[in-house]
Chains A and B, each alone.
Chain A
Amino acid sequence: MNSSPPAGRAEASSPVASWWLLGPGLLWMGLLFVVPLSLVLVISFAERGTYGGIVWSFSLTNYLDLLHPLYARILGQSVLLAAVTTVLCLIMGFPLAYYIARTTPRRQGILLLLVMIPFWTNFLVRTYAWMFILRTEGLLNTLLLKLGMITAPIELLYSNTAVVIGLVYGYLPFMVLPLFVALEQVDRTLVEAAWDLYATRWAVLWRIIVPLARPGIIAGCLLVFIPSLGAFLTPDLLGGARSMMVGNLIQHEFLVARDWPLGAAISCLLMLFVMGMMRWLLHAASSRPRQEDAS
């Protein structure tokens, strides 16, 4: 009886105390994340001054400007490059994730560590490694020339191909990790039952594994697609003059052309796209995958 807690003292003080803990962090994120992004939204409706400043007004000029074929081409190309990157990551990452999910716990730990380490390692340097390999006097050309497979160096760097290689290289771990989480949860007995019922390898993959791993597949695809779409460094270093992506366009408008309202409008469009995809992800991942009849 005596040992009962002192009349909920801890209970009563914890909600107040927790706001003291949360307050500084929430304030910080509000000030440096919410406010700046709102400013981008506001500026996107303003107009550019004659000397590059901002003229406060309300107009849709910037958004209408985005319909110009030049911008539309860059936007379309970004979506295309990001989509190709996503598909390649899925094709490459799925077998790896499946292997990690099915191997011994010891190996699993090591392999996960090996996948995660590059994901946190300097992106700039990893992109540079590809410049070193792909450039005209680079490793690949030197090797191919030595082997006599080509007679003159081929132009590999500064192309869309190089950009896609760089993006796949950068974002492959984003695909493997969620896929692994989803595939690890797939009930092995279901797979075995399918084998027992003489399902073919493809049937097991498409009718059992893929539907059950759907949330992981969607998450992985979005985690690759979103940063690829907004990539700046990869197209900047590996892409040529014609491989400009949205991220480069935003940087160009802000730092080179000094047309901040237009840059802000492009940013808002990108943000809208990203938010839309995220909502779709949360929706798709929470709705249960349709259970098809296995018979």
Chain B
Amino acid sequence: MKQAGGWLWRVSLANLFFLYGPIALLILFSFNASRLSATWQGWTWQWYRALWVNQSLLDATANSLRVATVSTVLALFLGVGLAVGLDSLSGRRQRQIEQSLLLPLVIPEVMMGVSLLLFFVLLQIPLSLITVMMGHALFNVPVVVIIVRARLKKLDPRLMEAAADLGATYWNTLRHVTIPLLRPAILGAGLMAFTISLDDFIVTYFTAGPGATTLPLKVYSMIKSGMSPEINALSALFVIVSMGLIGLSLLLQRR
């Protein structure tokens, strides 16, 4: 399709422009000196400075970091176990479990949020940061499993066989051979899970109790109560941080 090459390239560029343009504009205008209008009035840092002194925002950030850390550790613990354990199952059962683990990623997020809300309320578990952490660990387990299994499939099985031949038990092989080989994937999966948790709005929205405000919940309530340049600055920071983390994670997975 040589003739179409230039045309394809232009359409591709337009697509990328569509994907990145709005974010770039948002970041640019977070430095705009004008409070209300969308016309350019010169550079300023003042909206960023305003973020630093906003206590409720700092609290929300602390909550978000807490939730992301705990849910990531939990998801890694459960997900790496699943990924490695699946390896020694027979083909059919392995495929069944793998496929059903994809379900949480495919069903609409609202469903997950609503079902967790119902679960916690019926079991009379009060909604708090802990319920948010549980929800995040739920959708992050499949993410970890997928990333770690992709790496596991590329490992040379002879390395594990060699360990067994040398008398290593299953657990020893796992600890000294398999897990060290999986380290980049585990790190990549952890970063990915951490970022998804930081970014999540919907599951958090349904499972957070009063006082358990995370950063996305805070951003949402700020947006709902009216536009302000502080939101632009906060959003810009948010996008830059999560893009950085994701870029790092993707690079780690590629090794």
Contacts and interface: CB of A to CB of B under 8 A. Distances in A.
Grouping DSSP codes into helix (H, G, I), strand (E, B) and loop, the B interface class, with mixed when no group exceeds half, is: helix
B1 A191 contact: yes
B52 interface: no
A122 B202 contact: no
Interface string B35-60: 01111000000000000000000000
A141 B37 CA distance: 11
B186 interface: no
Interface in B1-28: 1, 3-4, 7-9, 11-12, 15-16, 18-20, 22-23, 25-26
A100 B25 contact: no
Contact of B104 (A5, A13, A33, A39): A33
Contacts of B216: 122, 124
B81 interface: yes
Interface in B211-255: 216, 219-220, 223, 227, 231-232, 235, 238-239, 242-243, 246-247, 250
A210 interface: no
A26 interface: yes
A84 B7 CA distance: 24
B88 interface: yes
Interface string B80-117: 01101111110000000100010110111111101111
B109 A232 contact: yes
Interface in A246-278: 247, 250-251, 254-255, 260, 263-264, 267, 270-271, 274, 278
A104 B122 CA distance: 55
Given A10-B164, A14-B88, A125-B238, A21 B82 contact: yes
A120 B12 contact: no
A13 B170 contact: yes
Nearest to B78: A25
Contact of B11 (A37, A95, A102, A260): A95
Nearest to B201: A124
A254 B141 contact: no
A226 B106 contact: yes
B231 A121 contact: no
Grouping DSSP codes into helix (H, G, I), strand (E, B) and loop, the A interface class, with mixed when no group exceeds half, is: helix
B235 A120 contact: no
B84 A126 contact: no
B38 A99 contact: no
B108 A169 contact: no
Nearest to B111: A267
Contact of A18 (B11, B77, B89, B107): B89
A39 B115 contact: yes
A129 interface: yes
Most chain-A CB neighbours within 10 Å: which of B106, B116, B141, B232?
Answer: B106
Nearest to A135: B227
Interface in B136-177: 137-138, 141, 145, 164-165, 167-171, 173
A172 B19 contact: yes
A133 interface: yes
A122 B26 CA distance: 13
A111 B12 contact: yes
B189 interface: no
B134 interface: yes
A247 B79 contact: no
Contact of A10 (B26, B169, B196): B169
B249 to A, nearest CB: 8
Contact of A133 (B22, B37, B89, B137): B22
Nearest to A191: B1
A61 B19 CA distance: 44
Contacts of B117: 254
Most chain-A CB neighbours within 10 Å: which of B19, B101, B198, B199?
Answer: B19
B114 A40 contact: yes
Contacts of B4: 201
A23 B36 CA distance: 55
A63 interface: no
A13 B9 CA distance: 55
A122 B242 contact: yes
Contacts of A255: 206
B106 A278 contact: yes
B29 interface: yes
Most chain-A CB neighbours within 10 Å: which of B16, B26, B135?
Answer: B26
A86 to B, nearest CB: 15
Most chain-A CB neighbours within 10 Å: which of B109, B170, B223, B232?
Answer: B170
Given A22-B82, A36-B119, 9 more contacts: A28-B141, A29-B141, A43-B118, A95-B12, A99-B8, A124-B216, A227-B109, A231-B108, A233-B202
18 contacts: A3-B165, A11-B164, A18-B86, A28-B137, A36-B115, A95-B15, A98-B8, A102-B8, A117-B246, A121-B243, A124-B201, A125-B235, A169-B22, A172-B15, A230-B110, A232-B202, A247-B108, A254-B114
Top 10 nearest A-B pairs by Cβ distance? Answer: A230-B108, A21-B85, A36-B115, A22-B85, A25-B82, A36-B119, A129-B22, A95-B11, A25-B78, A10-B164
